[in-house]
Amino acid sequence: MATSGFGGSGIEGGGPDERPEERITRNWNELLQELRVLQTGVQILTGFLLTVPFSPRFPELNDHQQTIYLVVLVGAVVTTCLIIAPVSFHRMLFRRRQRPWLVTASHFCARAGLVGFAIVSALVVLLVFDVVVSLTAAVIAAIAVLLLFVSLWAGLPLLNGRNNSH
């Protein structure tokens, strides 16, 4: 049995006696917990971004900064949509015995939402550094943030999986 490098049990499932319908229910519940964490951050970021044009300094942004802002805003709204979509899926398919599809579709939305959140976060850093420091500093900072997300969210799990496959 594989164990995680961080002291976890490494148990993928609920055990050898877990029935397929139990596994799908467990997967759904685990996915919901993950989405709750992500949803809060995405909604707060989106809400904040919606207020930015009403701040006194917004008219001081140059054209490319306003364009970056609009891209960030649209990205945040799309990410919010992706993260909340599983709730709509569940409401539409409640008690229709569609949980396998629900888990698969929601898993896709969660992964796309994570990617969206990483990109939007990097673009927020790009915009803030551009306004406060310079475009060059902004690009460097945004790339650093994106690399941090990729390293932590993809690199560490992949490295752990490779180490535990022996």
Kindly tell me if the per-residue pLDDT of 16 is higher than 80.
Answer: no
pLDDT at position 97 is 79
In a domain, 166, yes or no: no
| Count of the separate structural domains present in the chain | 1
Read off the pLDDT band of 2 (50, 70, 90).
very low
Give the residue numbers spanning the domain of 106: 21-51+59-160
Kindly tell me if the per-residue pLDDT of 118 is higher than 70.
Answer: yes
pTM of structure? 0.79
pLDDT at position 69 is 96
In a domain, 14, yes or no: no
In a domain, 131, yes or no: yes
Rounded (10°) CA dihedral 72, 78, 80, 82:
-140
Cβ-based neighbours of 25, under 8 Å, separated by 6 or more: 99
Kindly tell me if the per-residue pLDDT of 1 is higher than 80.
Answer: no
